[in-house]
A = this chain, B = another copy of it.
Amino acid sequence: MTKHLQRDLEEIKQHVLKMGGLVEDAFHQACAAVALRDGTRIETAGTLERRIDRLQLQIDEEILKVLALYQPVASDLRFVTAAMKIVNDLERIGDLASNICERMRQLIDATELGEPVEIERMMELCTGMLRDALDAFVRSDSALARDVVGRDDEVDRLNRGHFDLLIRRMRKDPDAVETAVAVLSISRNLERIGDLATNIAEDVVFVVDAVDIRHQDLERE
């Protein structure tokens, strides 16, 4: 039975990685939509989203089957419950990537802002965080996962900076309002993607090191 369990766990892992690859593709579409000011990426993102959603339902079923059939314990149990959370977070990242594409679709023909908004820097950071969180998952690399967690502050900082900058811009230039609101929305979506990549990395640390590093501020009280 242990052999069957290991085979099924490996299958779940492969499906999570496949889902992760699709989510990375969806996020890549979103980044290209923003960088190239291309409003047509929404269709590709939508197709990817449906494949992502299907995989989510399938993996959730596989996880329930493994729990019911083999009653895994210790690290196998941590792996299975973490996989359930990771699948949830990946699906949400796919949603957010679609949101970004949708925003860009609405922006066609809108005013170019020409402000030095650091959206590209946020996209680079998030791309790296997502890639490394998935790599950490596949390689059971908790050091890499902890490194991902540490990068989220920079994403948050960039997002906050956008707020101040774009509010000032809208005050002095009413024509910039629509674009600025869209850029704010994209910035906020990226900030959430950073959070979710962080969640995935925290789950990897839990699987590998058997410690729950979420809500660390609670310990410090």
Contact = CB atoms under 8 A, between A and B. Distances in A.
A22 interface: no
A175 B53 CA distance: 43
A178 interface: yes
Nearest to A71: B71
Nearest to A52: B215
A138 interface: no
A81 interface: yes
Contacts of A178: 167, 171
A108 interface: no
Interface in A44-94: 50, 53-54, 56-57, 60-61, 63-64, 67-68, 71, 73-74, 77-78, 81, 84-85, 88
A214 B57 contact: yes
A221 interface: yes
A75 to B, nearest CB: 11
Interface string A145-185: 00000000000000000010011001110110110010011
B77 A68 contact: yes
Given A171-B174, A185-B188, 12 more contacts: A53-B215, A54-B215, A56-B214, A56-B215, A57-B214, A64-B77, A67-B77, A67-B81, A68-B77, A166-B181, A174-B174, A177-B177
18 contacts: A50-B218, A53-B215, A54-B215, A56-B214, A56-B215, A57-B218, A61-B212, A64-B78, A67-B71, A67-B81, A71-B71, A81-B84, A84-B85, A167-B181, A170-B170, A171-B174, A174-B174, A181-B184
Interface of A: 50, 53-54, 56-57, 60-61, 63-64, 67-68, 71, 73-74, 77-78, 81, 84-85, 88, 163, 166-167, 170-172, 174-175, 177-178, 181, 184-185, 188, 212, 214-215, 217-218, 221
Those 9 A-B pairs whose CB atoms lie nearest each other, nearest first: A71-B71, A53-B215, A170-B177, A171-B174, A68-B73, A171-B177, A68-B77, A167-B178, A167-B177
